Structure 1
């Protein structure tokens, strides 16, 4: 039962993040705009980092994910200001691309370790 609730919560947060990205990229005006965009910018990088930290203490992984999310957003904002290229749309797109890149790394990393573990069991 708890596993189903977690999965449902993950889907709701994921859909809210996708909605936040869509709202920012397509400049949709809605009262939920600040909430959805903030949720996207805080959750996507953090979730990507937590996914890379498997087999760790859950509280430590969440703490590192939250810190990494904040660091990524601040560094991105600083770089955009430094180069005079401030654009909220570009910032959201960059966070999405970096989050997707970290997701691909996670899939490749887990696939490699799973094959190694299966090969070790067969011996």
Structure 2
């Protein structure tokens, strides 16, 4: 069994950057940093897939990809629309909150359409897309309204 030694703080202690027991504290690149160049490409592919799913559902076209692409649209559109509202969270927390918010938006739209007896696949896809667009545009309007007169953000 090994014991862990605890050093007491003293005035002659080596700074944490140079402490041999603590290792180097320089900012190391993230293990995902090499994939940062692909983020715009992946965003474009995701937007294209979501738009294709919405079009397949709205135009009532039959395709083997219709189900997965419509499902992707129904989860991605509200999720990405909520992302600007959650800027203060870290990446993982933001992803979980966006996914949860997307499920909530979908359930809210489905419940409202069922209660009003106007349920249809086309209407559901259009309503989710509309709610997502409203949420995203409200975030952009809020951001624009809170800018300082010099043009920067506070």
Q: Report the TM-score when normalising by structure 1.
A: 0.87
Counting only pairs closer than 5 Å after superposition, residues 1-123 of structure 1 correspond to structure 2 as 2-113=35-146, 115-116=147-148, 118=150
Q: Over residues 95-114 of structure 1, what are the superposed CA-to-partner deviations in whole Å (9 max), with x where a residue is unaligned?
A: 1111111121222223234x
Identify the range of structure 1 (18-27 vs 82-91) with the bigger mean alpha-carbon deviation.
82-91
Larger deviation: 47-56 or 26-35?
47-56
Encode CA deviations 1:41-66: one digit per residue, 9 max, x unaligned. 00000111112211321111111111
Secondary structure, aligned partner of 1:116? coil
1:77-108 superposed Cα distances (whole Å, 9 cap, x missing partner) = 12222221111111111111111111212222
Instruction: Normalising by structure 2, report the TM-score.
Output: 0.71
Which protein shows a greater Rg?
2
More helix, by proportion: 1
> SS at the partner of 1:86?
coil
Distance 2:151 2:101 in 1: 34
Q: Secondary structure at the match of 2:60?
A: coil
Q: Against the structure 1 CA distance between its residues 83 and 7, is the aligned structure 2 distance closer, same or farther, given a 3 Å change threshold?
A: same
Relative CO higher for 1 or 2, CA cutoff 8 Å, sep ≥ 6?
A: 1
Secondary structure in structure 1 of the residue aligned to 2:148? helix
| TM-fit CA distance, 1:4 | 2.8
Q: Give 5+ residue unaligned stretches, structure 1.
A: none
Unaligned 5+ segments in structure 2 are: 1-33
Alignment coverage as a number of residue pairs: 120
